Amino acid sequence: MDKQLDLLQGTLDMLILKAVSLGPLHGYGILLRIQQISKDRLEIQQGSLYPALYRLEHQGWITSEWGESENKRKAKYYRLTAAGKRRFQTEAEKWNRMTDVIAGILGTKPEEV
Amino acid sequence: MRLWSLLRSWLRATLRRSRMESEMDAELRFHMEAYAEDLMRGGVARHEAMRRARLEFGGIERVKEEGREARGANLIESLVQDLRYGMRMLRKSPGFTSVAVLTLALGIGANTAIFSVIYSVLLRPLPYPDSQRVYQVSFSYRGQLDPHNFSFRDVQFLEQRDAWSQGIAASTPTGLTFSNGSAAERVDALYVTAGYFSVLGVPPFLGRDFQPEEDREPGANVAILNHGLWQRGFALDPSVIGKNILLDSLPYTVVGVMPAGFDSHPSADVYLPIAHVARTAGSGQNLTVIGRLKDGLTPRAAQARIEPLSEPFFRTKNVPENSIGDIRFVLTPFQKMLAFEVSDSLFILLGSVAFVLLIACANIANLLLARGAARTREIALRRALGASRGRLARQLLTESVLLAALAGICGVLLARVLLALLLALAPPALPRITEIGVDRWTLLFALLITAATGILFGLAPVAQSTGPDLNVALKEGPGRGTAGAGRGRLRAALIVSEIAISLILLAGAALLSTTFVNLLHTDPGIDPHRLLSVEIWLTGSRYHSAPELAAYYNRAVEAIDRTPGVESAAVVNAGQPLERGGNLPLIIRRPDQINSVDYRAATPGYFHTLSVRLLGGRDFSDADSETSQRVAIVNASFARRYIENRDPLGELVDLNEDKGRRTVIGITADIKSNPATPAEPTVFIPAAQADFETSQIFDNWIPSHVLVRTSGDPLRLATEVQNQLRSVDPIVPIGRTRSLDQVLAASVALQGFMMVLVGVFAALAVLLAAVGIYGVMTYSVAQRTSEIGVRMALGAGSGHVLWLILRHTIRLVGIGVLVGLAGGLALTRVLANMLYGVRPYDPATFLGVATALVVIALVASYLPARRAMRVDPMVALRYE
């Protein structure tokens, strides 16, 4: 149980950073953007988005301000900070290396061992 | 930078709590409404859309809680929560709370009290500017520091070759009769060199300091007053400068007044130029030498500069050639030298009292463990509901620290009471006693040990409670089943250490008590019961020759003899029994061999009054006068040491105090000056034949004593005897009036102080350990009730059950006693210098202490074990 959650949590952070790197978004917008770019292949518990957002903001990787939504309502918009941008790059690189390694391992054929 | 943003975010979350909350509400609401709108756009009915939005969002409170935590907003909140919860837990079990708080408060209070003494006596700098650069000169012999005093000539030697100080100064105390014209009182005076106040760094605040020429013979009659005497005697009148005062009937001009709060060591009411005593044989040889380190010179460098003086100096002192290399000058911080006699004792006390606190902690830890076992289910439940281990550990620690804090508050209050008791018992050797109190450093210390104890005993339940497997813990009913193995081991270790520590303390206390009893029962050479001693000060009196003094003594003795209830009386000059006295150089036969012997001048009837046996020859009589044959009586030590293989009677001795030798006419049994050391070789001479100047020198720093043998309680006659003395001569100041039993008690005051304190600490330790064992046994019997029930139902007898319960304790006590014996043998060595008539590893003491402890431990565990024997199998089995 725990391990899955941890993995998901780390990944969620990265997905959020990616989502807001494309432009300021409110929380619901981030959810929609992730679902859109993942082509609905990822299921995210809606509520779990917010603790992650607050954590990222607390760490200083994103920052927020109140603005007006598409349908003229007050909404809180999140934006990537410079530190967040650097953080996202290193995280993404790490992630790519990791997936490469794991994909390599999983793709190993019996005769290659 | 990052730290700053974290802090800012945390501060915002904490300080702008309500704003954060409402923003969070608004944000989450926006999310759900936006989602619902999207759903409605897809054709879902409004009501259904809102329901689904809430559902899919998940537990909104949980999201908010996690959000708060993510921002660190919860730190303070959860602390407050923990505190509130902790208070509730403590209130819920008032019995546990009061026992724990009381136990700890005793420990913390006692530690704080002892620390405040140590801090004031040993650590707090003396109240002089840069006082840590004031050093005292003494010497060490084979590495042993000897707080020796120097003669005026020695001081000159050190001064002429001084390369380490900005100036050295010497001082020696005396007592004088002070009169400002209207009233007379006995005051403490300190003879000082002209540089004394500048070495201390505190000049007179009124008038001027002594001038160097006032320091040279014959010495100017000038005086500097301490603030206290200025206040008492002159009502703070500044015109006192230039006025004359009488000290021992001699006129002195007041030239200065010291500022308020200044005190010298030893403290004094008035300061006089040292020239007055510099050449005398008595005070002139008892100078304390201090100096202030040269600027920029480290203590080590200063030591290197004074050390080369050692050899030439001690060569002039006739130190045997082969010992010259073993003896050298040492510089020691002045403050440290002041507490030279007591510092070891104080650290031993601190060690003992720290042990008591450790036992108290072990007890509380044990209590918490037992309670923790009962709370296993509660804690498992809270973890199942999502509390993290860290969060639970924090809460348990908060409870412990809260407990400690309550105890700390009580402890500090208690410390004041304990300190007052302690100071009432304090031996005279304890310096700076007026400075001792509970101040902010003491409070800081109390705070530190409180926090440390809270964490120390709080760790045990934390280690235990956050460990066990949830499923097992949840399935177990409260108070059922067996205690976990790890928990049992921890508890066993606590019991073992409690017993070991108690044994060490008990052994120390027993050794000190034996010492004290030995000292009290050592034969002082006199019969101290029914004996009254009155101090009289004869310096500055109207008597200016030995016959005049002797006549005064005779009149005083006659007057007291006539008093009903008095059996006999006598006067002694230069020191009474059981107190320090004077000594003089002595020549027997060979003029090139000079030895130092104790000297006393006494009136006829002295030995009779003290009940000292005469071993040979005759006592002094009224016929021994200034004009008759010069005679002396020696004690047994003298005869043994100096007169081998000859009859001491008729031997001629030259006391160097006057012209002409004396014939030994009698030998007495030894009379001790200190119960802990054998009597020194002593020469007694008839007071009527004493050299007047010699008597005066001794009178300067040791009072003469009138000793009175009474038929009943000596203190009942105190006033009557004083009145008789006043009727004979109202001008002679009367000092302390005590029974010889009191004098004896005072001479062993430091040992008595140590015995009482270590004894109290040991008793406390044993009591706590017994309570601890009792508690653990009670708990373990309760835990095993069902097991015992099963065994009894299967036919186990009560003896078997008793053994089952006691077996465990006996093993723990056995291990504890062994550890304690090993520790005790290692630790009681620190007492070695304090013991008298008993060795630090005295087998009988250790055996007795171990036996006593085993008995106490068995009784403490037998009481709960007996309960186990009475278990009714039916009830026990139903108990499940």
Closest approach of chain A CAs to the CA of B461, in angstroms? 26
Amino acid, res. B298: T
Task: Label the pairing between strands B631-635 and B662-668.
Answer: parallel
Nearest neighbour of B57 by CB, restricted to A47, A71, A76: A47
Mean pLDDT, consecutive 10-residue stretches, chain B (880 aa), reads 68 72 85 87 87 83 77 70 81 83 90 91 88 90 72 84 90 79 76 92 93 80 92 89 86 93 88 76 67 92 90 74 79 88 86 90 83 73 70 81 90 91 83 80 88 83 63 51 58 88 91 88 89 85 86 94 94 91 78 79 94 93 90 93 85 75 93 88 93 79 89 90 90 82 86 88 89 82 80 82 83 92 89 86 92 90 80 67
Instruction: Determine the pLDDT at residue A48.
Output: 81
Helix (H) or strand (E) holding A7: helix A2-21
Q: Which two tokens stand for residue B854?
A: 């085993």
Q: Which residues of B touch A47 (CB under 8 A)?
A: 57-60, 62-63
Amino acid, res. B493: A
Q: Do A76 and B31 touch (CB under 8 A)?
A: no
Q: Which residues of A touch B69 (CB under 8 A)?
A: 51
Instruction: Determine the pLDDT at residue B66.
Output: 78
Determine the Cα–Cα distance for residues B93 and B461; give it in Å rounded to an integer: 17
Nearest neighbour of B5 by CB, restricted to A47, A50, A60: A60
Asked if A74 reaches chain B (Cβ–Cβ under 8 Å), the answer is: yes
Q: Which residues of B touch A27 (CB under 8 A)?
A: 27, 30-31
Asked if A57 reaches chain B (Cβ–Cβ under 8 Å), the answer is: yes
Q: Which residues of B touch A60 (CB under 8 A)?
A: 2, 5-6, 9
For residue B25, how far is the Cα from the chain centroid? 63
Task: Indicate which of A50, A57, A63, A71 best probes the interface with B, i.e. most B CBs within 10 Å of its own CB.
Answer: A50
Helix (H) or strand (E) holding A51: helix A49-59
Task: Indicate which of B2, B8, B20, B31 best probes the interface with A, i.e. most A CBs within 10 Å of its own CB.
Answer: B31
Helices B843-869 & B798-827, crossing angle to 10 degrees?
150
Q: Do A27 and B72 touch (CB under 8 A)?
A: no
Write down the H helix ranges in B466-484.
470-475
**pTM surpassing 0.95?**
no
Closest approach of chain A CAs to the CA of B7, in angstroms? 9
Q: Do B6 and A51 touch (CB under 8 A)?
A: no
Q: Do A58 and B26 touch (CB under 8 A)?
A: no
Exposure b/e, A50-63, CB count within 10 A at least 16 = b: bbbbbbbbbbbbbb
Query: What is the 8-class DSSP label of residue B523?
Result: -
Instruction: Determine the pLDDT at residue B771.
Output: 86
Closest approach of chain B CAs to the CA of A12, in angstroms? 15
Determine the Cα–Cα distance for residues B613 and B670; give it in Å rounded to an integer: 9
Calculate mean pLDDT across residues A57-77: 85
Q: Do A60 and B70 touch (CB under 8 A)?
A: no
Amino acid, res. B443: L
Determine the Cα–Cα distance for residues B137 and B146; give it in Å rounded to an integer: 10
Task: Label the pairing between strands B222-225 and B270-273.
Answer: antiparallel
Q: Which residues of A touch B67 (CB under 8 A)?
A: 50-51, 54
- Interface A-B, measured as beta-carbon pairs within 8 A, has a size of 76
Asked if A38 reaches chain B (Cβ–Cβ under 8 Å), the answer is: no
Q: CA geometry: angle at B578 spanning B716 and B276, to 5°?
A: 100
Asked if A84 reaches chain B (Cβ–Cβ under 8 Å), the answer is: no
Question: Which of A59, A25, A14 lies closest to B70 in space, CA to CA?
Answer: A59
Asked if A73 reaches chain B (Cβ–Cβ under 8 Å), the answer is: yes
Amino acid, res. B689: Q
Q: Which residues of B touch A78 (CB under 8 A)?
A: none
Q: Do B70 and A54 touch (CB under 8 A)?
A: yes
Nearest neighbour of A58 by CB, restricted to B26, B59, B72: B72
Q: Which residues of A touch B66 (CB under 8 A)?
A: 50-51
Q: What is the ipTM of this complex?
A: 0.84
Q: Do B63 and A48 touch (CB under 8 A)?
A: yes
SS3 B136: strand
Nearest neighbour of B31 by CB, restricted to A27, A45, A48: A27
Q: How far is CA B90 from CA B84, B86, B99, B398, B585, in A?
A: 10, 6, 11, 12, 72
Q: Do B34 and A28 touch (CB under 8 A)?
A: yes
Task: Label the pairing between strands B184-192 and B270-273.
Answer: parallel
Instruction: Determine the pLDDT at residue B788.
Output: 81
Asked if A95 reaches chain B (Cβ–Cβ under 8 Å), the answer is: no
**B531, β-bridge pairs:** B709
Nearest neighbour of B70 by CB, restricted to A55, A69, A76: A55
Determine the Cα–Cα distance for residues B713 and A44; give it in Å rounded to an integer: 97
Minimum CA–CA partner of A67 in chain B: B27
Determine the Cα–Cα distance for residues B806 and B865; give it in Å rounded to an integer: 7
Q: Which residues of A touch B73 (CB under 8 A)?
A: none
Quote the strand ranges of B383-453, DSSP E. Answer: none
Query: Which residues of B touch chain A, with CB atoms under 8 Å apart?
Result: 2, 5-6, 9-10, 13, 23-24, 26-28, 30-31, 33-35, 37, 56-60, 62-63, 66-67, 69-72
Reported confidence tier of residue A2, pLDDT bands at 50, 70, 90: very low
Instruction: Determine the pLDDT at residue B851.
Output: 93
Determine the Cα–Cα distance for residues B244 and B736; give it in Å rounded to an integer: 28
Residues 6 or more apart from B378 whose CB is under 8 A from it? Answer: none
Instruction: Determine the pLDDT at residue B482.
Output: 44
Query: What is the 8-class DSSP label of residue B150?
Result: B
Q: Which two tokens stand for residue B432?
A: 């700076």
Asked if A36 reaches chain B (Cβ–Cβ under 8 Å), the answer is: no
Q: Do B2 and A83 touch (CB under 8 A)?
A: yes
Determine the Cα–Cα distance for residues B157 and B161; give it in Å rounded to an integer: 7
Q: Do B10 and A58 touch (CB under 8 A)?
A: yes
Q: Do A69 and B2 touch (CB under 8 A)?
A: no
Q: Do B30 and A26 touch (CB under 8 A)?
A: yes
Closest approach of chain A CAs to the CA of B353, in angstroms? 48
Determine the Cα–Cα distance for residues A30 and A52; give it in Å rounded to an integer: 12
Q: Do B60 and A55 touch (CB under 8 A)?
A: no
Closest approach of chain A CAs to the CA of B497, in angstroms? 41
Q: How far is CA B678 from CA B137, B281, B519, B521, B793, in A?
A: 28, 25, 11, 14, 70
Asked if A18 reaches chain B (Cβ–Cβ under 8 Å), the answer is: no
Main-chain phi, psi angles of B709, to 5 degrees: -90, 125
In which residue are the tokens 């007379």 written? B184
Q: Do A75 and B30 touch (CB under 8 A)?
A: yes
DSSP string, B314-371: HHHTT--GGGGGGEEEEEEEHHHHHTTTTHHHHHHHHHHHHHHHHHHHHHHHHHHHHH
Residues 6 or more apart from B60 whose CB is under 8 A from it? Answer: A47, B28, B54
DSSP string, B237-292: -GGGTT-EEEETTEEEEEEEEPPTT---SS--SEEEETHHHHTSSSGGG-BEEEEE
**B596, β-bridge pairs:** B585
Closest approach of chain B CAs to the CA of A87, in angstroms? 13
* Surface-to-core class of residue A40, CB atoms within 10 Å of its CB (0-12 exposed, 13-18 middle, 19+ buried): exposed
